[in-house]
Structure 1
Amino acid sequence: MNDIAELKNFVVAHTRSQGLPPEAYDPLLARIRDDGDGTPGSWVAEWSAEADRLAGAGRSLEASVHYNMARFPFVDGPARAAALERCAAEFAAWAAGFPALSRLDVELPGGRVRCWTTGLDAEVPRPLLVMTGGIVSVKEQWAPVLPQLDALGFAGIVAEMPGVGENTLPYGADAHRMFSGLLDAVEGRADTARTYALALSFSGHLALRAALSDPRIRGVVGAGAPLRDFFTDREWQRSVPRVTTDTLAHLAGSTPDEVYGVLAERALSAEELSALRIPVAHVTSLRDEIIPPGDARLLRERVRSVRLLSHDDVHGSPRFFAQTRLWTLLSVLRMHGAHRDQRIALTREFARLRYGAAAVAAV
């Protein structure tokens, strides 16, 4: 079973990223006593009960958010499996109200990648943004951004990391090839030669590795990505929260005692990072309890075209989610080079959030 105190701590970043205020989830978390497989007072049961209520009221997106939290951090039994299924179904019900959103299943060697997409059009191929979350977040958590991408003139794909949610690919040494597989699948319906990856947490590591061999990836925006030290620093690994280690072991088909030995070969070398010829933007949490500070330093020292944003917060920077969301979207638009008016507006809004109203006039 998962450590309930850890789950309550680490779920906050994910609830806030999906628009849930503390008054919505604090009473719910207070009712949770253990991590039984759907038993009364358990993690899955309490989140699912609230999700059931919201689904019954026709509030599909909110219901999907709560089912997502019920299956958090990964499916380890029937109750969480049922929550994941309901999460996907309620999101599909919400997405039915947006004709521009559609499902895409991509069959690749080793498994299937189930995605949500927008803007795929063979007659007018658009530049492509591929968005992926980390080891504990499903595509339904991030796919609500797709209507915004459609309005900006991008084609968009939102997918999960290998082994997460409905992605049946294994999280193996070649997991980064998923990105190229997705681009191949939409070739002709998107301008894949102008692809940007918005890859959060552990998927950021995969996107950077993919960019080393796939020139169609023209920029990578990430947050809290492991690069080298996370995979190689044994002392740091001993302090990594149990929920992270357990989730990685689940994805890698290993055990918590052995998983870091399995993952050691995934580390990106300084030479590989120096070989990147694309712009990279990255959000770093200065009190990150999962990703060691050396990985952000490596980006700064080795990647030629890098922009860094730092927050004085823990992993995922939950207190700064609004700033991070604006900055990551702004970073994609900067890499693409178009949308001048939107970039100016986003820059001003970011300055207001970051530095206060007085800073807006200087932008």
Structure 2
Amino acid sequence: MTDTTAASAPAGSAEGSDRGNDLDELKRFVVAHAVSQDLPADHYAPLLDRITTDQGDAPGSWAYEWVRAGDELDAAGQPLAAAQYYLLGRFPFVDGPGRARALERSVDAFDRWRKAGDTGIEPETVDVGGTPVRIWTAGLSTGTPRPLLVVTGGIVSTKEQWGPLLPQLTSLGLAAAVAELPGVGENPLRYERDSSRLFTAILDALDGRADVSRTYLLALSFSGHLALRAALADPRIRGIVGNGTPVHDFFTDAAWQRHVPRITRDTLAHLAGVPADAVYERIRDWALQDDELRALAVPFATVSARRDEIVPPGDTDRLRRHVADLRLLEHDDVHGAPGHLAETKVWSLLAVQWMRPDADPTTTAGLAAAVEAARAAGAKR
């Protein structure tokens, strides 16, 4: 699994840059999300060529062209494919009527897809400090509560992007939930230092229908940082799988921050509700300290990229030094390792199996073989 973290605040907003979105940067970052959703390049590449502006909702604009492609797929009876295109129409986040329309249609198309098939996916509303937050779930049962896997993306990927994984996760003998980081998609919360409370709220809400005393978190990119913080406080969390996890230096290293893509900086500012030039000061005390990493009592498996342009190499080094139970998969790639999608996706599921005392050995062996096959196929490219 991969989650390339990038987005930009709306032009003229209090949270972001007054220069608006950089269209070339948006196109570059969105390709990784298109790849992660298995969209055909011969379809989305001409679409990107038609986009000449990030603003508005007229032909040639970002939102309009993605929504138009989604409408065509929806009319052809492909609501899940349509939802994927709508998702990219609201990328990086809603900043006006066009992207609002795209988000609304993505949620609606996904909802129609999950109802039409035998997906087992159901909506759930979680109370997080008095604020209702909508998530997708599968495999819940009061009669036979299963161990729980909670999936979260990074600062731009919505629950509808990862929602199609839910049936596969239940086939592993798990109950599962997919949620969004605060400020992403339909999640109305603000992104804050204590946003890890989202995980605890989900566990509380699903207790009795899932065995939340055996919870695992598949938390990509920035949500991995929150997952680590949650595990330090909630003993029901038994393991974490991440990808491109910022830990410490990203939040504190001013020299590194000067070279982080503007699109990432502006997204963090938008989600945190501060001006772009103040965001690094706001998040400085979010860094996990060495003693906190040493105190982590559960296994942590994560993917790192040697050419990561967002998470500094010092964060991976810090994990190596201080996390007692660490499994690390390294790729020669950029943030999220989009060039190694197939291997990373299966390895992430395998890592969850490694952490589970109740995991079926045959299923685990099958995933291990799939990892090797994906690695070999990648080496031939």
How far does the alpha carbon of each residue in 1:213-270 deviate from its partner, in whole angstroms, 9 at most, with x for none? 0000000000011110000011111111111111111100011100110011111011
Cα distance in structure 1, aligned partners of 2:335 and 2:164: 22
Q: Which position in structure 2 is the counterpart of 1:89?
A: 108
Q: Is the 8 A contact 1:48 1:70 kept in 2?
A: yes
Secondary structure in structure 1 of the residue aligned to 2:133 = strand
How far does the alpha carbon of each residue in 1:188-223 deviate from its partner, in whole angstroms, 9 at most, with x for none? 110001000000000000000000000000000000
How far the C-alpha of 1:43 sits from its partner, in A, is 1.1
With normalisation by structure 2, the TM-score equals 0.92
Secondary structure in structure 1 of the residue aligned to 2:143 = coil
Residues 9-48 of structure 1 aligned to structure 2 (within 5 Å) = 9-48=28-67
* Partner residue of 2:342 out of 306, 312, 322: 322
Deviates more, 1:100-109 or 1:63-72: 100-109
Q: Which position in structure 2 is the counterpart of 1:361?
A: none
How far does the alpha carbon of each residue in 1:110-150 deviate from its partner, in whole angstroms, 9 at most, with x for none? 52221110011111000000000000100000010100111
1:164 corresponds to 2:184: yes
Q: Which position in structure 1 is the counterpart of 2:375?
A: 354
How far does the alpha carbon of each residue in 1:67-90 deviate from its partner, in whole angstroms, 9 at most, with x for none? 000000111111111110110000
Cα distance in structure 1, aligned partners of 2:95 and 2:132: 20
1:205 corresponds to 2:222: no
* Structure 2 gaps, min length 5: 1-19
Cα distance in structure 2, aligned partners of 1:351 and 1:303: 26
Q: Which position in structure 1 is the counterpart of 2:164?
A: 144
How far the C-alpha of 1:153 sits from its partner, in A, is 1.3
Secondary structure in structure 2 of the residue aligned to 1:128 = strand
Cα distance in structure 2, aligned partners of 1:242 and 1:3: 9
Cα distance in structure 1, aligned partners of 2:353 and 2:373: 19
Cα distance in structure 2, aligned partners of 1:88 and 1:261: 34
Q: Which position in structure 1 is the counterpart of 2:99?
A: 80
Q: Which position in structure 2 is the counterpart of 1:191?
A: 211
Structural RMSD (CA): 1.5
Bigger RCO of structures 1 and 2 (CA < 8 A, at least 6 apart): 2
* Structure 1 gaps, min length 5: 359-363
Q: Is the 8 A contact 1:110 1:169 kept in 2?
A: no
> Residue type matched to 1:27 in 2?
P
Q: Is the 8 A contact 1:111 1:170 kept in 2?
A: no
Cα distance in structure 1, aligned partners of 2:65 and 2:307: 30
1:274 corresponds to 2:323: no
> Residue type matched to 1:12 in 2?
V
* Partner residue of 1:340 out of 355, 361, 376: 361
Q: Which position in structure 1 is the counterpart of 2:69?
A: 50
Cα distance in structure 1, aligned partners of 2:317 and 2:275: 30
With normalisation by structure 1, the TM-score equals 0.96
Q: Which position in structure 2 is the counterpart of 1:225?
A: 245
Secondary structure in structure 1 of the residue aligned to 2:151 = strand
> Residue type matched to 1:330 in 2?
L
> Residue type matched to 1:271 in 2?
D
Q: Is the 8 A contact 2:154 2:181 kept in 1?
A: yes
The ranges of structure 1 where at least 4 consecutive aligned residues each deviate by more than 4 angstroms after the TM superposition are: none
Q: Which position in structure 1 is the counterpart of 2:90?
A: 71
* Partner residue of 2:330 out of 310, 316, 320: 310
Cα distance in structure 2, aligned partners of 1:234 and 1:156: 38
Number of residues of Structure 1 aligned to a counterpart in Structure 2: 359
